[in-house]
Structure 1
Amino acid sequence: MTNTYAHQSLPSRPSSSFHQDQQQQRVVSHASQQDFYPQSQSPPQRTAGRGSLHIQEESRYEPTDDLYQYNPDNNDDFYHGNGAYTPQRSLPDSRPPTPPGPILDHSHLKPGKEAALLSHERTLELYRANAKKTQDPELQFEFAVFLVDAAKHWPIPAPEPSGVNVLDIEKAQDKREDLYREATSLLRKLADRGHMPSQYFLADCYANGIGTTKGKQDFDRAFPLFVLAAKHGHPDAAYRAGTCCENGWGCRRETAKALQFFRKAGAALHPGAQYRLGIAELNGELGLSKRPREGVKWLKRSAEHATAEFPHAIHELALLHENGFENTVFVDHEYAAELLAQASELGYAPSAYRLGECYEYGKMGCPQDAALSIHYYNIAAQQNHRDACFALTAWYLVGSPGVLPQSDTEAFLWAKRAAEAELVKAMYAVGYFLEVGIGTSPDMKEAISWYKRAAEKGDKRAAQRLKANSNTPIIQPGGPGSVLRRGPDGEGSDGKGGRDKDCVIM
């Protein structure tokens, strides 16, 4: 087997940035939501008891200790810090008694209409007021990050069919843009003052279309800031600057410069940069000659520092140990499966899908285990890995006793999800399900549309079906040319409810 390791397209965003795609990317904030709320003031201290006698007593009675302990059993008694009890002396007073004041008002914590959190706008006002009182760049930076996060999650009303809320939608969108502008303006001031986190975060905003014209990516402004933050020692900024130089984003394409930035970030233990250097050494990229041993070393370093955002080196090492590589990496299926499990724990969809295959078919020394196979397929499918989605389609078609109930409806939904992700065989399967009525109501018109999409992508079965008379119903399930062959009650041909060996849906 020829081992050619092409450079995978790594996410160009660090874990500290804000993703626009909630599915793909994993959002990691710089501070938790609780940190952005201003500290509440201390409750008012009680200065008077039940009447004016307490006030007058304060002027006449001088305790030997400043610490008092409140006795809930007798509100008229005071205790010294040393525990000695002194009864209160009643003195005449010509003034009218003052109304009692609450020791601590808990009315705002009562359930019902009185219980309420601060609104988003009120929180912003309080935070903005506190941020203006300080010249601490760290606090101002946290406020800018909070503004970006608040804008990202600012509620936009759903459009109504009648269009009566168009103005409300526009106001909400304008408010979001105002927050973005306020955040980027503050970040620019901090960046000009040499604040490294602000330089990087502002560059990341520009690179992702935050605070830019029409939300378009602006690498012309992002790249210089990446370089500036990299010079101040920011590992993520060095990696992003190297990516820009490699691809020509906001600058000329210069592999030599990209290599310098990657090495700078790699020396700072950035797993993404270490992975890129490893692939470059394996394939002889970025002006380097092929040096497999050096490439494997870089991959191992990246795997040691792998994160949920950069688990790629673990997966690559697993593939190397699965097949071996140029007398540098020996075949070790057990270790390869362990590496795939590590990457799956970090949420890496390709590793989870591969491990699902291993447990389904008993590959790489893994036992055939329906529960584990479905588990790992599900990890990948939740991230829209199209092959994993389609693998779940096959599992739901036949089911697994005690693990997964047979469900044509779920099979159709997962097949459609894979088809919408442009998986050709899933397009044909969706057309078949719609024509025959598996997991959905029969719809010949919709079925033909899916057949056409599959045929345009080169699926021969879909092309043959389109040539046939569309008024002629397709061969019933189980016959020649069918998508699946199932026994009675949804069982597989072996009668055990497991994956059917004759299932040709895959």
Structure 2
Amino acid sequence: MLGNDQLLDHSHLRPGNKAALLSYTQSINMYRENAKKTKNPEIQCDFAIFLVEAAKPVVDDDTTRWEYLAEAEKLLRQLAARGHGESQYYLGNLYASGLLSKKGKNEFDKAFPLFVQAAKHHHADAAFRSAKCYEDGLGTRKDSAKAVNFYRKAATLNHPGSMYRMGVAEVNGELGISKNARDGVKWLKRAAEAATAEYPQAIHELALLHEKGIDNVVFVDHEYAITLYAQAADLGYAPSAFKLGECYEYGKLSCKQDPALSIHYYTIAAQQGHREACFSLTAWYLVGSPNVLPQSDLEAYIWAKRAAEKELPKAEYAVGYFTEVGIGIAKNLDEAMVWYKRAAQHGDKRAIQRLQGKPMDRPGKKKGSQDDCSIM
């Protein structure tokens, strides 16, 4: 929500991490006086954002924290009522994130009308958020036609997320739009050109299309697909990084098998919580790779548990097995049974068999063929 949006950077205004509360108070008082002296909404909005940033690190003084947030909310509401687009959008984000709710509730009923108001001022992010609200029924009824209108508005303002959504909708015939792959690909190409770390999805989507092709629209080109996946991975997009990890592990899409590159890309994805990538690292650590990755039962267990905590059934089974036999962790049958039960609840057949008293299927990995992997 709020943390992912492109907001003004106020790091130059923020006191140091070790600054006393007095430093915040002095800075805020000085900033407040300057904001009062001007009628410039940009400066006043800037001050409200500074108040929010000052409130975030205050964790041991609820009174002060909520005073800052209340003052920011009041000022932003005044600016929003006067038609200041950035204030409308920022206040909408605060409500949507739950930051202004003492219960941490996402207040889309308050956020949605603010996004719509800001969108009228040609605010691309606000138009995109309005579209998402209409598509997902957040703070308003679902309305695909209105969602498309706002996506188009944001897309014409070169918003990469909206161009991506329009592209996918056109290619697949979603949101009540007639299927038109040619127009959809045009949107995806525009979105890819404008891609950012926040909106890298269009690059990945184009790569998928170049894997299989679309008759008379997209030609099959595996080498170009790999290039696109790499571009998205460089922006930190976990699905693309995971895809490259598989390609370099198994030699897919004409890639040469390369353990170092496979592990590199799996790691990029795993560090962002991609559960399949976490589990792929488990498999690599179980066997290791000469001059690339030392074999480590402990690391294998750690990465399997990370995947299991994200409810990947085969990882839950693996953690159960590791815990039962003592791979990377001390043996503990009771704890193992807990993991087997979780895996069984999520449909893992080996876990179900183990709970029925049948012999264990030992997780293991034979590199070079995905079909040969019992752990995978």
Q: TM-score, normalised on structure 2?
A: 0.93
Q: Distance in 2 between matches of 1:504 and 1:30?
A: 49
Per the TM alignment, residue 372 of structure 1 is displaced from its structure 2 partner at its CA by 0.7
Task: Please name the residue that 1:30 is paired with.
Answer: 8
Tell me, yes or no, if structure 1 residue 128 matches structure 2 residue 29: yes
- Counterparts in 2 of 1:290-309, with a 5 A limit? 290-309=179-198
Asked whether the equivalents of residues 341 and 352 of structure 1 are also in contact (C-alpha less than 8 Å), the reply is yes
Label 1:27 to 1:152 Cα distance change in 2 as closer, same or farther (>3 A): farther
Q: Compare CA radii of gyration and give the structure with the larger one.
A: 1
Structure 1: stretches of 5+ with no match in the other structure: 1-12, 20-25, 39-115, 157-171, 476-480, 486-491, 493-497
Label 1:142 to 1:121 Cα distance change in 2 as closer, same or farther (>3 A): farther
Q: Distance in 2 between matches of 1:467 and 1:121?
A: 64
Label 1:500 to 1:244 Cα distance change in 2 as closer, same or farther (>3 A): closer
Per the TM alignment, residue 292 of structure 1 is displaced from its structure 2 partner at its CA by 0.6
Task: Please name the residue that 1:189 is paired with.
Answer: 78
Asked whether the equivalents of residues 409 and 440 of structure 1 are also in contact (C-alpha less than 8 Å), the reply is yes
Per the TM alignment, residue 220 of structure 1 is displaced from its structure 2 partner at its CA by 1.6
Per the TM alignment, residue 255 of structure 1 is displaced from its structure 2 partner at its CA by 1.7
Label 1:152 to 1:118 Cα distance change in 2 as closer, same or farther (>3 A): closer
Asked whether the equivalents of residues 131 and 146 of structure 2 are also in contact (C-alpha less than 8 Å), the reply is yes
Question: Which one-letter code corresponds to 1:280 in the other structure?
Answer: A
Q: Distance in 1 between matches of 2:56 and 2:140?
A: 28
Tell me, yes or no, if structure 1 residue 375 matches structure 2 residue 261: no
Task: Please name the residue that 1:483 is paired with.
Answer: 363
Q: Distance in 1 between matches of 2:18 and 2:314?
A: 50
Tell me, yes or no, if structure 1 residue 259 matches structure 2 residue 148: yes
**Equivalent residues, number:** 372
Runs of 4+ in structure 1 displaced over 4 angstroms?
26-29, 498-503
Q: Distance in 1 between matches of 2:102 and 2:12?
A: 31
Q: 2:229 aligns with which of 340, 351, 375?
A: 340
State the SS of the aligned residue for 1:34: coil
Q: Percent identity?
A: 57
Asked whether the equivalents of residues 206 and 217 of structure 1 are also in contact (C-alpha less than 8 Å), the reply is yes
Task: Please name the residue that 2:20 is paired with.
Answer: 119
Question: Which one-letter code corresponds to 1:484 in the other structure?
Answer: G
Per the TM alignment, residue 365 of structure 1 is displaced from its structure 2 partner at its CA by 1.8
Task: Please name the residue that 2:46 is paired with.
Answer: 142
Q: Distance in 1 between matches of 2:282 and 2:41?
A: 53
Label 1:123 to 1:176 Cα distance change in 2 as closer, same or farther (>3 A): closer
Per the TM alignment, residue 117 of structure 1 is displaced from its structure 2 partner at its CA by 6.2
Instruction: Identify the structure with the greater helix proportion.
Output: 2
Q: Distance in 2 between matches of 1:184 and 1:280?
A: 36
Q: TM-score, normalised on structure 1?
A: 0.70
Superposed CA RMSD in Å reads 2.1
Structure 2: stretches of 5+ with no match in the other structure: none
Per the TM alignment, residue 439 of structure 1 is displaced from its structure 2 partner at its CA by 0.3
Per the TM alignment, residue 27 of structure 1 is displaced from its structure 2 partner at its CA by 7.0
Task: Please name the residue that 1:225 is paired with.
Answer: 114
Question: Which one-letter code corresponds to 1:244 in the other structure?
Answer: C
Asked whether the equivalents of residues 250 and 369 of structure 2 are also in contact (C-alpha less than 8 Å), the reply is no
Label 1:398 to 1:144 Cα distance change in 2 as closer, same or farther (>3 A): same
Asked whether the equivalents of residues 398 and 500 of structure 1 are also in contact (C-alpha less than 8 Å), the reply is no
Per the TM alignment, residue 432 of structure 1 is displaced from its structure 2 partner at its CA by 0.2
Asked whether the equivalents of residues 31 and 47 of structure 2 are also in contact (C-alpha less than 8 Å), the reply is no
State the SS of the aligned residue for 1:364: helix
Question: Which one-letter code corresponds to 1:482 in the other structure?
Answer: R
Asked whether the equivalents of residues 13 and 50 of structure 2 are also in contact (C-alpha less than 8 Å), the reply is no
- Counterparts in 2 of 1:80-479, with a 5 A limit? 118-133=19-34, 134-135=37-38, 136-156=40-60, 172-212=61-101, 214-468=103-357
